[in-house]
Amino acid sequence: MAGGRGERLQPLTAGLPKPLVPLFDRPLLGYLIQHLLEHGVEEIFVTAGYRGEQIRAYLAGFPADARLHCHTEERPRGTAGAVADLRPRLRSPFLVVSGDAILDLDLPALLGAHQADGNMVTICLAPLGERLRFGTVALTGRRIRHFVEKPPLADLLPEARINTGCYVMQTEALADVPGEGLVDFALHVFPSLLARGYPLGAVAGARFWRDIGTLEAYREAHFEGLNGTLPWSLAKGTEPVAAASAQIRGPVHFGSGVRIEAGARIVGPAVLGEGCRVGRGAEVVRSILLAGSAVAAGVVLRDCVVDLGARVPAGWRLAGAGVAGWPAAGARSVGRVRRAGAAEPAPGAKPVSAPAAAGDARDAGPFVATAPAP
């Protein structure tokens, strides 16, 4: 499933569908496809919506024997609607996987539980961890009792576990999905199946699972890659072209062609993608610079994510910012609306709004970028 807009990952998804956002210079979808192929999946259908033509073009670069197909929605159909549109081409049991997470599936465990328990649907659960941002399921043994979609703390049951968005299903589970409109698995299909008495189960079938739906989570995923926590084989780094007076400390991954000018400091964990440039005297601390981005002289970045091709102007000091670069010629920074009770900006700070073509900056996400005080 690769049809969402990835709004919480703005500004990276202003010009890319979320599954094509890069992780160590490779699209997330590429890692996922490779993982599935290595674990014996014979044929893959990708349901695309937002910027689906980019996903189709990316899949065209895989070898023909990978048996990849792209189904682009004419209008949004939701998670279940998009899969149900493929029902004539599916056979039982089939696997549904969310295309925007980092995971390591235990497919034998999933399939074994599904077949042994005679389930209509078997949901893959994640190891215990953060729960509040994700849909949860309550179990008795391996049987699902009910779903709680992104619940507040007071609603969580002690035995609740994360629904990863990965399912083993029988095609009959899609029989009553309407042929138009938005239909969601967790909100519509699964509760309906439970109400009609169909057996739904769940198993801890993910050895590893991480959502990258926000810039914070995206940045932390790179840091996990640096310390070897991620389950996928990541691209190996290269040595940057660095001036003698440049300083590099901590774990840092450099893509090919990175250049670091005199007096610049890179403090890890940090990732600098292919072709990045760091100007004279600039500082990059705990930040992710995607391919082709450039940091001008005297810039200070702390806990930032800089988009593909973005340019950070000389002298700017940014903390916790998402700096956009789509299109590269119109690089911008993304502002936020302060929540009630939030602190006022520092005196002299000047929020920088996005151009109209990129959408209203007030809705662009949780990150604030400010220009230096005059």
Domains of the chain by residue range? 7-226, 241-371
Contact between 352 and 333 (Cβ < 8 Å): yes
- pTM, two decimals, is 0.78
**Among the listed residues 259, 312, 321, 333, the one whose alpha carbon sits nearest the alpha carbon of residue 286:** 321
With 50 as the cut, is the pLDDT of residue 356 above it?
A: no
pLDDT digits (tens, 9 = 90+) for 108-154: 989 999 999 999 999 998 765 544 455 667 777 777 777 766 555 43
Give the pLDDT score at 369. Answer: 44
Mean per-residue pLDDT, 88-106? 91
| Domain 7-226 CATH class label | alpha beta
Give the pLDDT score at 361. Answer: 26
Dihedral (Cα; 13, 15, 17, 20), 10-degree rounding: -90
Mean per-residue pLDDT, 63-85? 90
Buried b (16+ CB within 10 A) or exposed e, 64-89: eeeebebbebeeebbbbbbbbbeeee
pLDDT digits (tens, 9 = 90+) for 313-345: 998 999 888 887 644 334 344 333 222 233 333
Contact between 93 and 114 (Cβ < 8 Å): yes
With 50 as the cut, is the pLDDT of residue 363 above it?
A: no
Give the pLDDT score at 80. Answer: 92
Confidence band of 373 (pLDDT split at 50, 70, 90) = very low
Give the pLDDT score at 200. Answer: 94
**CATH fold of the domain at 241-371:** UDP N-Acetylglucosamine Acyltransferase; domain 1 (2.160.10)
What token pair was written down for 29?
């979808």
Beta strands, E only, 121-175 = 121-125, 136-140, 143-148, 161-169
Q: What is the mean pLDDT of the chain?
A: 81
Higher pLDDT, 279 or 38: 279
Mean per-residue pLDDT, 198-223? 90
